[in-house]
Every structure is written in structure tokens, then in C-alpha cells.
Amino acid sequence: MNRKYEFNWNLLGNISEGRPNLGPLVSTEVYRLMQFCFRDILENNYGTEAADRLFYEAGLLAGKHFYQNTMNKVENFSDFIKSLQLILADKGIGILRIEEADHEQGKFVLSISEDLDCSGLPELDYEICVYDEGFISGLLESFTGEKFKVKEVDCWCTGDRTCRFVAELIKEN
């Protein structure tokens, strides 16, 4: 396919030059407005399942580029998590904690508090952080070189005060 919109980091532009007075930050409200309107339109056009899949894929793509362009390359998992914690807090994305790490099975449980996508939203009966699921999957894949399936199991929106994700290595047979 002849692509018009293939992502690369340069598309984010030179923000200090482009926004000398306003600076690099926008409100969480504006970020959520765009994300949730995108999701509304995707669902309306393609259905709920496809909207979720597209959000997951977009998150995954973002996670890979985020890793490539913002993170220091480190050798071991705990250094990876440490630098991820710092950058996620620094960018205002959330406060990351690792709750369980089973390196043998390739299974991790992690939580993100004050999550950019959902913290403070009204209560719903489903987890909403599908973009985050993909984002975490993209980060883990970039660091480990292996693919991970990530599922949110608790969310601010389901009454928890944090978002909790289970990441599992996709084992190739």
C-alpha cells in the first residue's frame, strides 16, 4: 500500500521551536477528548471489536516508537523497569509499579496509577485502557524482542484506584 500517514518520530515536530510560549504540555482533558472521540468514531464505523483492536495496535506502535526514541538502552529487566518508571512519571503518563515478575513463564503483573487514559473517569462496567494495553505490549516487545499479550484486569473505571495489567509472553509453537 502506498502510505500517506506512516508514523515516524519526526512527525511530532520541533516543539520548542513551534510552541515557544505555550510549551510542550497540554491538559489531560484535551488528550482524553481526542482519544475518546477517535474511539467513538472508530466504533461507529467499524464496530466495538475492531475499534478495540485498532486502539491496541495503535498503542503497540506507540510503545515501540516511545521505546526507540525516549528510553536509554539497558541490559537487564530491573534497569528497564526503573528507566520506564522515571520516563512515564516525567511525561505525566502514570506511576508504574511491577507487582509480579515471573521471568521463567514470561508473565508480569504491573499497575499504573494516576493513569493518563482513565484515572478519575466515572465508573463503568468494563476496563477501558486498551490503548495502554497495546502500549505496554510494545514496550515489552521492544525490550525483550518477544511478543506479549497484555490485558487490563483492574481499572479506575471498574472501581479500582489503579489500572492493573497482566502481560504474558506469546509462545511461538
- Contacts with Zn ion by CB under 5 A lie at 118, 129, 155, 163
Alpha helices in the chain (DSSP H): 15-18, 28-46, 48-70, 77-90, 130-144
Q: In angstroms, rounded to a whole number, what is the distance separating the alpha carbons of residues 162 and 156?
A: 5
CB of 32 to Zn ion, least distance (A): 12
Of 83 and 158, nearer to Zn ion (C-beta) is 158
Q: In angstroms, rounded to a whole number, what is the distance separating the alpha carbons of residues 166 and 43?
A: 25
CB of 8 to Zn ion, least distance (A): 28
| C-alpha cell recorded at residue 173 | 509453537
| C-alpha cell recorded at residue 86 | 522515571
Of 18 and 92, nearer to Zn ion (C-beta) is 92
CB of 97 to Zn ion, least distance (A): 14
What phi, psi does 115 have (nearest 5°)?
Answer: -60, 135
Q: In angstroms, rounded to a whole number, what is the distance separating the alpha carbons of residues 67 and 143?
A: 8
Q: Are 140 and 106 in contact (CB under 8 A)?
A: no
Q: Taking the mean position of all CA atoms in its chain, how far away is CA 160?
A: 18
Of 51 and 118, nearer to Zn ion (C-beta) is 118
Of 101 and 121, nearer to Zn ion (C-beta) is 121
What phi, psi does 101 have (nearest 5°)?
Answer: -140, 110
CB of 139 to Zn ion, least distance (A): 16
CB of 160 to Zn ion, least distance (A): 8
Of 88 and 129, nearer to Zn ion (C-beta) is 129
